[in-house]
Amino acid sequence: MPRLQRPYFVLIFSLLALSLLAALGLACGGGPSPIQTPVSPSQPKFSHVVIVVEENHSFSEVIGNSAMPYFNGLAQQYGLAAQFFGNAHPSFPNYVMLTTGVIPPEAMTNSFSGTLTNDNIARELDKAGISWKCYAESLPSKGYIGPDVFPYLRHHNPFTYFSDTQGTPQAANIVSFSPQFSSDLANNSLPQFSFIVPNVLDDAHDGSLAQADAWLKQHIDPLINNPSFQSSGLLIITFDEGNQADLSNGGGQVATILVSSKSKKNYVSQTFFQHQSTLRLALASLGVNQFPGAAAVAPDMTEFFTGP
């Protein structure tokens, strides 16, 4: 087992607290946390925020790996979180934390098939009148919330579990990545928030890191070079968890990069972050100041930017 780092002990306490928050949230209909750290005055605002989630590789397997020249090029040009850790193993609880800020005990397995009633990113975006879509590659049909259809895995798509999207018009915001994303980008009709889920052949889950890197270059490079994105866009690429042998701080150390015209160049952060900070960043970047679960008090990520 890897040597436990100091933040690991903080993690143990945090997970116990989050389990209590999850239980209270489920009992009370997923209400917001009563404690909210104010948004930093140095937090920049963006017109578009895009999150891409890759799979199951630790920081040391990704950063400096010649099989991922595109990803590493972005990491060198923009911002790299060098002390970012997944929250747990296996995959699903990390996606849940990334979008709800809590991990209910029953959601600690990839086989979870229930409904998440906790406060979540979709709910907060809807309350604020902010447009959003989840672009899931190989999704069988628009609004599909059913089981796996290879190479699409449902537990990589947390939006399908929210009570906010099940049997509601909001399910229409869950769309297939191809051709919808490229079409929306070309037509300047991207929503303000985009959550991108590559299929398991393209996210390094079943395919190689080289395949994942080629997919990013093909599909994400046009986004970065889009004039609207360059003007006021934020891209976050992260991995859900490290490899299964990497137990550091719960889910292993993962590579996370932030790409924006407002990003500090060639910046490497040594601050300890987990997925709840990404959730906080995504919402704060769009002007939302109500954060689900642990995102309410998570360390903010404003250090990556040159200013508000």
Sketch the domain layout of the chain as residue ranges. Answer: 6-304
pLDDT for position 19: 45
Rounded to 10°, the helix 177-186/209-219 angle is 30
- Half-sphere exposure (Cβ direction) of 205: Cα atoms closer than 13 Å: 21
Place of tokens 């296996």: 90
What is the token pair recorded at 177? 């990545």
The low-confidence residues of the chain, meaning pLDDT below 70, are 1-34
- Half-sphere exposure (Cβ direction) of 42: Cα atoms closer than 13 Å: 10
Angle CA 253–235–266, to nearest 5: 65
Rounded to 10°, the helix 91-100/275-285 angle is 30
Instruction: Return the exposure string of 253-271: e unless at least 16 CB atoms fall within 10 Å of the residue's CB, then b.
Output: bbbbbbbbbbbbeebebee
Q: In a 3-state reduction of DSSP, which class is residue 248?
A: coil
The CATH number that domain 6-304 falls under is 3.40.720.10
Give the C-alpha separation, 72 to 69, whole Å: 5
Q: Are 247 and 64 in contact (CB under 8 A)?
A: no
What predicted TM-score, i.e. pTM, was given to this entire model?
0.90
CA-wise closest residue to 75 among 264, 276, 298, 229: 264
pLDDT for position 35: 84
Q: Are 204 and 56 in contact (CB under 8 A)?
A: yes
Estimate to the nearest angstrom the gap between the alpha carbon of 162 and the chain centroid: 15
Sheet of 174-176: strand order equals 174-176, 132-136, 193-197, 48-54, 233-239, 253-260, 79-85, 267-269
64 torsion bin: left (phi>0), alpha (psi -120 to 50), beta (else): left
Q: Running DSSP on this structure, what letter comes out for residue 149?
A: B
Give the C-alpha separation, 188 to 183, whole Å: 9
pLDDT for position 34: 58
Q: Are 131 and 170 in contact (CB under 8 A)?
A: no
pLDDT for position 5: 46
Beta strand residue intervals within 107-192, DSSP E: 132-136, 174-176
Give the C-alpha separation, 203 to 212, whole Å: 5
Q: In a 3-state reduction of DSSP, which class is residue 293?
A: helix
Place of tokens 């209590």: 20
